Amino acid sequence: MAPELNGIVVVDKPEGISSAGVVARVKEILGVKKVGHTGTLDPFATGVLICCINQATRLSQFFLKGDKVYEAELVLGTVTDTQDATGTVIERHPLDGVSAEQVHEMASRFVGTITQVPPVYSALKHQGTPLYKLARRGSPVEKPARPVRINHLEILEVNLPAVRFSVSCSSGTYVRTLCADIGRKLGCGGHLKALCRTASCGFPIDAAISLEKLAELRDQGGLGETVIPMNEALPFMPAAVADDVLAKRIRNGTKLSEADLPMPPRVSDQGVFKVVYPHGRLIAVLAESPATGRYNYCCVFSA
């Protein structure tokens, strides 16, 4: 019997398929029971979609919080109800007085921590129902503004009404809302025409694989080259090395403190660290608890 496949696959999502559709396709290609993605891309969007396989689905919480990088095309002068090209045009405005210099200057104002009102056409839920479903029924619900972080925003090309840009941002940032807000501040409105996620949690699009190539490697018996083991899937997370005795205590759920570990572990920005065997296999992810002086278990993996 073949060992269970656990790890992540970095998929280059094509246009015209939902993130759930990619998950279903990956599940079919790999012949596994559990697959989950780590950050929705709209059907018209392309690029990096991290898919977690079997036990690795428990790691999705750490990828969901990671920074993302996108390349996008903003069209100025046209406003849609969905803030992107899939929606209905509800406003048109002339671009009189809008220059490339103004676009660059305005974009620079959005770098840093900003507030965004999530779009009414989004997968966020209100009383258990996705907002986009409520909006399609004619009962849109607007969520409160919330802070997001724009790490870097670079204008790549201005060919009015089109503006191409690259943006690095925190989890939860809506690039289409960013486009709409830039257009609104310029006084002409705007919407997102095209979007490609070029990196997610440090995994670049160069490391992503198409669904067609994934199926081809399966047929050639080369999936081992494609599925990234769970430990290697968390390069951004500090590691503590454990022996068999400590690993057994962890799998038994024993409460641990700093004194139980061979060296005081560093923690990530999320306050967590991974515990691995000397050869690298992932045992668990733990979180510090300064109030108690002990560590809390985020997830523990079978031997």
Domains of the chain from N-terminus onward: 7-66+203-225 (3.30.2350.10), 68-195 (3.30.2350.10), 239-300 (2.30.130.10)
Residue 120 has pLDDT above 80, yes or no: no
Q: Enter the tokens of residue 297.
A: 């278990």
The string of DSSP codes covering 212-230 is HHHHHHHHHT-GGGTSBPT
pLDDT value at residue 111 = 98
- Lowest mean per-residue pLDDT among 36-45, 108-117, 123-132: 123-132
What is the average pLDDT score of the chain?
90
> What is this structure's pTM?
0.89
pLDDT value at residue 262 = 77
Residue of 42, 81, 84, 260 with catalytic role: 42
Q: How many CB atoms lie within 10 A of CB 18?
A: 14
Section 66-85 average pLDDT: 96
pLDDT value at residue 1 = 46
Q: Does residue 291 or residue 18 have the better pLDDT?
A: 18
Residue 141 has pLDDT above 70, yes or no: no
- Lowest mean per-residue pLDDT among 20-24, 48-52, 250-254: 250-254
Examine the residue annotation and report whether 219 is marked as an active-site residue of this protein.
no
Residue 139 has pLDDT above 70, yes or no: no
Residue 179 has pLDDT above 80, yes or no: yes
Q: In the chain, where do the E strands start and end?
A: 7-13, 35-37, 46-53, 68-76, 78-80, 89-92, 112-116, 125-126, 129-130, 146-159, 162-169, 190-200, 203-204, 239-241, 256-257, 272-276, 282-289, 294-300
pLDDT value at residue 66 = 86
Give SS3 for 178.
Answer: helix
Residue 153 has pLDDT above 90, yes or no: yes
Section 52-66 average pLDDT: 91
Give SS3 for 195.
Answer: strand
Q: Enter the tokens of residue 103.
A: 């676009």
Q: What percent of the chain has pLDDT over 90?
A: 68
pLDDT value at residue 140 = 63
- Lowest mean per-residue pLDDT among 19-23, 177-181, 200-204, 220-224: 220-224
- Lowest mean per-residue pLDDT among 46-60, 177-191, 192-206, 214-228: 214-228
